[in-house]
Each structure stands twice: as C-alpha cells, then as structure tokens.
Amino acid sequence: MLDRRSRPHHSWDLMRALAAVASLTSVAVLVVASAEATPTRDTLLRPGIGAGKVRLGMTFAQVRRAIGRPTRVERREIYRFETYVEYAWGINSSWRVGFHGRTLARSRVVFLQTTRRERTAGGAGVGSTYRKLQDTLGARCYRPRSELRPRPSYSDFVGCYLGKRGDSVTYFPLHRECALPENRYYICPFSHRRYLAHEVWIADPVGQEIKGIHEYPR
C-alpha cells in the first residue's frame, strides 16, 4: 500500500511527463507546418535555370519523364539550320517547352513557359505582384507605354526581367487587375490597380532570339 505522502510526488511527475509530451507535439506540428510552407524542389522556381521539374538544357526524353507526354505541337520552324519545336501540355497550356537541335533526340530545352504557381524559396513567382518581384528578386519592371498617356489602354500590362544580355533570362508578363468594376467607358483609377504575374518565361540566348524576348520599356 502506497504512503499518502508519496502521492503528491507521483502527481507532479505525471504532470511533468504530460507537459513534455505536449511540448514535443507542438514542436512536431511546427516542423510539419514549416515543411509544408517551404516549396519543394518539384515546385521551386529557379530564375535562369528552370521551374518545377523542367530546366534549360534537358532533353525531350527527360522532360517527358518529368511532366508526361505533350498534348500538341505549338510551333515548329528552322532556326540556324536546326529545328525548333515547341510543345504544349494540357488544354490551357500549363507548360510550353521549346527544343532546339538537329534531331528531337539531340535537341535541348532552350525555352520554357508555365502558368503553374511556381515560386522561389523566397515566395516570389507566378501570382506575385511586381513589387514582390522587385523586392524579393531584384527584378527590373517596366510600365506599359499606354500608362504614360492621359488615357491608358484597356488591356495594359507590365513586364519584369531577371538576368543579363548574353545569359539566360527570366521574364514575368504581368496582367493588370482592378479592384473596381470597369468597362470600356470607365478607366480603372491608378490607386485601385495591381499587376500580377500570370506566368513565367525562362530562356537561354537561343530561346530569347526565337521567342523575341527583349528587355525594353513597353
């Protein structure tokens, strides 16, 4: 039979054990939440390199293993005596990847475009505002020329660039959204406009020439 004087010590030990279990559970929850919030390698945007499972320099076989069989051919032409073929994946072209080479087996990725919400480790990418791209990635963003006039066009947008001439570049086309309803007779006030990246393009020097990617104020 236990001595009554030992019960308080037993209760205190039990309380300390329960507190330790609760602390470990909290730590585990935080670790899991942090892991879920951090982009994985398959959903990570790497400016000048690639997005998700696709990167510049991959072969057609490697891309097919990574994201599956393409849905259709978007573009085919001869450039510098070699063939450029651009494939699309999905009904809405969530991926568009261009290959350049003498044959398909020997061609390499020179251009990729995606509307998937790929983000960098810092959280910037598709779906971000141009200010987020500037602050996080140091992107160079340009306003459309139409905004420099008294009455901007209805479908204006901006573009943000990363990279330098002669190297791989990353381009974010940004579409304008308005917080207020608008139509052809009502121009959205500047204070209610925001620009969001709806896709990302990544291209090496050859891909830039084929796709006409040039950094200049629009």
Task: For Cα atoms 166, 170, 172, give the angle at the middle one, nearest 5 degrees.
Answer: 140
Mean pLDDT (the chain, rounded): 81
What are the tens digits of pLDDT across the range 29-84?
443 344 434 455 556 999 999 999 999 999 999 999 999 999 999 999 999 999 99
C-alpha span between 111 and 96 (Å, rounded)? 8
Q: Which of 97-101, 132-136, 186-190 has the weakest average pLDDT?
A: 186-190
Q: pLDDT band at 20, cuts 50/70/90?
A: low
The residues, ordered by sequence, that sit 6+ positions from 54 with a Cβ below 8 Å of its Cβ are: 63, 66, 67, 95, 97, 109, 112, 114
Q: What percent of the chain has a predicted confidence (pLDDT) above 70?
A: 72
